[in-house]
Amino acid sequence: YKESTFFQLLWYDFILWLLSRIFDCFFREIRPRGAFRVPKTGPLIFVAAPHANQFIDPVILMNQVKQQCGRRISFLIAANSLKRLVIGFLAKSALSIGVNRPQDNLKFVNGKIFVKDLDNNPTIITGVDTAFTKDCTIKGLIALPSSLGTAVIQEIVSDTELIIKKPFDLRKNSNKIRNLLTTGTTFKIAKKVDQNVVYKKVFNHLSHNHCIGIFPEGGSHDRTTLLPLKAGVAIMALGAMANDANCNVKIIPCGMNYFHPHKYRSRAVIEFGHPIDIPRELVEKYSNSETHNDSVTELLKIVSDGLKSVTVECPDFETLMVVQTVRRLYSNNFANKLPLPLIIELNRRLVKGYDHFKKLKQVEILKEKILEYNKQLNHLHIPDHLVEDAKIDIPRNMCLLIYRSIKLLLLAILALPGTILFSPIFIATKKISKKKAAEALANSTVKIKANDVIATWKILISMVFAPLLYTFYATISAWYCYKYHLDYFRKWGLTLVFIGIYLLSCLVTYAALYVGDQGMDLFKSLRPLYLSVIDPIELNNLKLYRKELSIEITDFINEFGPELYPDFNLLEQRDKYLNKGNKTKKGGDKNKVMDSDDEEEELKTMALRRRRVAKKRREVGKERSGSVSSSTDI
């Protein structure tokens, strides 16, 4: 084993810092929760899910761990990705460990395959002009064309017959797959990959008290539930401890919780669960060939439970929309009083509550009303939070509409230069990311819309093309100064002109980003003002419907909430954290251990939220002074 040099670690830190600054332009906010749970020493395996943002997830997690805990993670990455120009360079700089995957080695072979009895014996594959004994290996892969599905080979009976471990998945493209398997189709195979080399690297890395990162679901996806976990994480943890008796590996479950992960200026909460200690009994069972598989399965179940405690899982998209609406309507937008990490906790509790009580007639009626409310919001093209605050005062709202429209126009003028300069990047990222998403969807059996690759490609394209675009602008400007003998600039020297224009282009586009954020928030607030002037009755009816629905939801949660969570009042938890923090600050022991695991994190979050509230109040005050009415802002 060879330790990383000082310069490799320095380069790791620089690349991570650079990527994090770039990500700050894409994401509005990235917040950690429970980072103080991460041990500062010893071997760790960070297990993250859901894998909702292809190459972005590992960078975000690495940065949070480095910032909060001062530790560096080496992520496992597909060896195929290391061959890519940009991704490979960044992954190697981040000390990633390449993993050969059998699905990356799939290739066509001679012959065709079909299933004689797809309904009763779907695992028996029959070949025509095939050589299974020569081309295939047990535990290797057999795949249908056009990425329609793969299966693990369990037994090779003859050159024309083999048995797969599980039937091909017919849930996606069911008719097409069924037709291929009944009439006969060409196929691909991939031999079993020996992962001992990778495991040895991981064991050595952990034995030297370093950190490994892994996404146990395998590839990225955009589902609302976790995919089945791969056994690799359990084998790595148990194998490292069996290989070195002094290696006490801990597994850290990490929840990658995004609000619209593929959208520009979205938010994320990275939640760290309690460290999972691996019992020595499991290691002994792992070392025994008879109980080897049982120990892997048992640890995988523990890891799965740990991940479920830090993620929000919904059975489908409709349920997710219902839960998010319930969160907003509960106790008259109670979630607005919570910091971002506790909003994730509230989401998790609501999902569990919905799953527990969903068969009640009262819940079914509430769900229908919530879906109807969402339908009305979509019809009016208005977000929920603006309905809650909307005030029906036609003269005041007319003045406010004019004032905000003028303000929006001024912001648009300020943002226009940067928008024009960066417009080629906007167009390129949108077109290329959609194209890549379509390709990923065609090559996957688990993706729904392939939204998990969109943000990755938007950022990658911006990283590559933005410097080229700025270089182009700077070159054209320097050439123009030279050709037309602009003495004022020529006396600086072309090099300084080039550098100045390059930096100015960066500054202008960043300013457009900042101004655009404010402008977009202002733009979204115009529609409810417009509706309150043009059609106040419809908006008022929607407000009343929302108020009634909010009361029903609040009564139900207050009645049934304590059955699942005795401490379900998160607002009381917030106040408790704040009061304890004030006592400690006034003169308590600074080294005192926090009474609650989340106390330290919530104190930081509440301080940030108080600063934001104060800033918002100042902005509202300025806006009031600029409008005709002194009424409360919408």
The domain that holds 217 is classified in CATH as: 3.40.1130.10
Given a cut of 90, whether residue 140 has pLDDT beyond it is: yes
Task: Mark whether 342 and 477 lie in a shared domain.
Answer: no
Residue 576, pLDDT score: 54
Task: Mark whether 403 and 522 lie in a shared domain.
Answer: yes
Given a cut of 70, whether residue 274 has pLDDT beyond it is: yes
Q: How many structural domains comprise the chain?
A: 5
- CB contact at 8 A, 620 and 522: no
Q: Using one digit for the tens of pLDDT, what is the confidence trace for 474-527?
A: 998 888 877 776 666 666 677 888 888 899 999 998 888 888 888 888 888 888
Give the 3-state secondary structure of residue 569. Answer: coil
Q: Is residue 350 part of a domain?
A: yes
Q: How far is CA 108 from CA 135, 136, 142, 188, in A?
A: 10, 12, 10, 4
Task: Mark whether 541 and 588 lie in a shared domain.
Answer: no
| Sign of the C-alpha dihedral computed for residues 387, 392, 393 and 394 taken in this order | positive
Task: Mark whether 215 and 93 lie in a shared domain.
Answer: yes
Task: Mark whether 405 and 511 lie in a shared domain.
Answer: yes
Q: What are phi and psi of 260, to 5 degrees?
A: 60, 70
Task: Mark whether 463 and 518 lie in a shared domain.
Answer: yes
For 31, the token pair is 């917040």
Task: Mark whether 74 and 148 lie in a shared domain.
Answer: no
Residue 618, pLDDT score: 60
Give the 3-state secondary structure of residue 97. Answer: strand
Q: Using one digit for the tens of pLDDT, what is the confidence trace for 360-408?
A: 999 999 999 999 998 888 887 787 877 877 777 778 878 888 998 999 9
How far is residue 365's CA from residue 172's CA, in Å, rounded to a whole number? 32
Residue where one domain finishes, among candidates 257, 290, 308: 308
Given a cut of 80, whether residue 255 has pLDDT beyond it is: yes
Q: Give 315's pLDDT tier (boundaries 50, 70, 90).
A: confident
Given a cut of 90, whether residue 205 has pLDDT beyond it is: yes
How far is residue 360's CA from residue 242's CA, in Å, rounded to a whole number? 49
**DSSP notation for 214-276:** E-TT-S----SSPPPPPTHHHHHHHHHHHH-TT---EEEEEEEEEESTTSTTEEEEEEE---E
Task: Mark whether 541 and 602 lie in a shared domain.
Answer: no
Task: Mark whether 208 and 108 lie in a shared domain.
Answer: no
Task: Mark whether 559 and 617 lie in a shared domain.
Answer: no
Q: Using one digit for the tens of pLDDT, what is the confidence trace for 586-626?
A: 444 433 334 344 444 445 545 555 555 565 556 545 544 54
Task: Mark whether 54 and 174 lie in a shared domain.
Answer: no
Nearest to 269 by CA among 339, 352, 349, 353: 339
For 15-29, 112-126, 559-573, which range has the lowest pLDDT when averaged over its residues? 559-573
Q: How would you classify the pairing of strands 211-214 and 73-78?
A: parallel
- CB contact at 8 A, 163 and 143: no
Residue 594, pLDDT score: 40
Q: Is residue 313 part of a domain?
A: no
Nearest to 421 by CA among 462, 471, 473, 461: 473
Residue 60, pLDDT score: 95
* 161-164 β-sheet, strand order: 107-108, 188-190, 141-143, 150-158, 161-164, 124-128, 112-114
For 328, the token pair is 């907003």
Task: Mark whether 398 and 489 lie in a shared domain.
Answer: yes
Q: Give 580's pLDDT tier (boundaries 50, 70, 90).
A: very low
Q: Is residue 218 part of a domain?
A: yes
Domain, as residue range, for 367: 318-389+536-568
- CB contact at 8 A, 187 and 108: yes
Q: pTM higher than 0.85, yes or no?
A: no
Q: Is residue 474 part of a domain?
A: yes
